[in-house]
């Protein structure tokens, strides 16, 4: 099948079904390919189209992609593949939602970014955010970052499958 169909999601699926398709397609795409840029580029597309196919608030997703540990400076994240408007290139570890997830290794589900101390506003439209660390041998190598233009865009229903995806990425990609 043409690759584009992997990121085409039927109308009317539940969030669980949509994330299940994301994981299944990601597994298939990673099977013969360990290049992290290639795999994260396709995964950003999968996730973005998955979330846009769902009802509100998921269809208000306005940024979806990755930051990775900067090979030139392990104290900061650098922008990786994404879908959405132009984004901040560098995020210091510990700074904002992304930097906090990267420093602590713990998923951040933020219902209202304005209440998160030190939030970095790459896009003024973003109202809520989820950031999931990708851990390899206990160390953060990347983060999944998704922004939503509505408040409370993400819940446990997103956290669990995204942490499963992060685990798959860690196992399947060479960073």
Given the rule CB under 8 A, which residues bind a second copy?
2-8, 25, 29, 33, 35, 37-38, 41-42, 45-46, 49, 65, 68, 70-72, 78-90, 121-125
Specify whether the CB–CB gap between 91 and 126 falls below 8 A: no
| Minimum distance from residue 68 beta carbon to a second copy (Å) | 8
**Per-residue tokens: 41:** 């580029």
CA 117 to CA 107: how far, in whole Å? 16
Tell me whether residue 3 or residue 139 sits nearer to a second copy (CB atom): 3
Give the DSSP letter of residue 5: G
Tell me whether residue 86 or residue 106 sits nearer to a second copy (CB atom): 86
| Minimum distance from residue 83 beta carbon to a second copy (Å) | 6
CA 116 to CA 152: how far, in whole Å? 13
Tell me whether residue 34 or residue 160 sits nearer to a second copy (CB atom): 34
| Minimum distance from residue 152 beta carbon to a second copy (Å) | 21
**Burial class of residue 55, CB neighbours in 10 A (0-12, 13-18, 19+):** exposed
């Amino acid at each position: 099948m043409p690759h584009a169909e992997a990121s085409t999601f039927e109308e009317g699926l539940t969030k669980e079904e949509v994330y299940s398709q994301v994981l299944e397609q990601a597994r298939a795409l990673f099977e013969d390919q360990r290049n992290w840029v290639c795999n994260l580029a396709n995964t950003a597309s999968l996730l973005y189209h998955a979330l846009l196919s769902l009802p509100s608030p998921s269809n208000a997703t306005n940024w979806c992609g990755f930051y990775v540990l900067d090979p030139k400076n392990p104290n900061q994240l650098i922008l990786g593949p994404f879908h959405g408007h132009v984004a901040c290139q560098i995020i210091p570890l510990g700074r904002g939602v992304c930097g906090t997830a990267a420093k602590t290794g713990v998923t951040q589900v933020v219902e209202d970014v304005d209440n998160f101390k030190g939030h970095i506003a790459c896009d003024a439209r973003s109202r809520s955010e989820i950031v999931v660390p990708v851990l390899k041998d206990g160390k953060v190598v990347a983060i999944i970052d998704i922004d939503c233009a509505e408040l409370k865009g993400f819940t446990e229903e997103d956290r669990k499958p995204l942490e499963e995806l992060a685990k798959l990425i860690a196992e399947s990609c060479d960073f």
